[in-house]
Amino acid sequence: MSQTLPLFHDEPYLKQLDCRVDLLERDDAGLPFALLGETVFYPQGGGQLGDRGVLNIAPGGESEAQRTLEIVATKKRDDQIRHYLSIDDEAFTQLQARVIGQQATATLDWSLRYHQMRVHSAMHLIHCMLERTLGRAIAHPVRSPLSDEGGENQYEFVGEFDEDSLRRATDALNEFCSASHEIRTEADTSQGQGFRWWQCEDWSIPCGGVHVRNTQEIGVVTSSMKIKKNTTRVVVTLSAEAEELG
């Protein structure tokens, strides 16, 4: 079986895709998933949530009525991009053999995806602005988990910056975003298969996620800081929607 062709890096603003169903199966935990010939669904990784959406398919071809299956999560397992489905046992059994090779239409939950793109870019930029505000480099976060609400950079240090520094960095970030700066992502095979860079101005950060193409799309950023034991957490939320420029 050929591997799924991922399109989310080259076409991050593609919301819907006609594709082929290559497999309908269950994982080791019994959860049903589909493999597609190509996909715009980003699999969970690097802190970014896996995409959600719907898969529309006619099990016996165009002559049959379409079935709409909810894609509740997208994950990468064993080099497979698995689209996990909400489907009952009876429907799974009926469809499993009949959908292989059939055409389908996969549609993203664009509200979720676009929010993730905006927040992910904001997480990198708040780190860059902290360094600019402090006038020195700081260690990169060890984790940057995103959620439906926002995201946070988790640093394994305490005392490198204070709330005033974060406030000034956030103000600088909002000014920077409103000035319309290009954001780029690109592969770098010299660093290994699948390695990618996020780039904006002179900043480069290793990242395999999906991002907006312009800082204006991020909107207005608010931030807060939490300290627990030896960890500093910078929490970021987006307080305003912005115009999609992609």
Q: Please report the domains of the chain, with CATH numbers, ordered by start residue.
A: 5-108 (2.40.30.130), 112-238 (3.30.980.10)
Q: Are strands 38-39 and 5-6 parallel, antiparallel or unpaired?
A: parallel
pTM of the predicted model, to two decimals?
Answer: 0.93
Percent of the chain with pLDDT over 70: 95
CA-to-CA separations, 140 to 25, 136, 163, 212, in angstroms, rounded: 39, 12, 18, 21
Chain center to CA of 201: 22
Q: Which of 53, 52, 41, 61 is nearest to 103 (CA)?
A: 61
More confident: 193 or 139: 139
**pLDDT tier at 173, thresholds 50, 70, 90:** very high
Angle at 178 between CA 177 and CA 184, to 5 degrees: 40
Contact predicate 109/203, CB 8 Å: no
pLDDT, residue 239, reads 81
Can you give the pLDDT at residue 62?
61
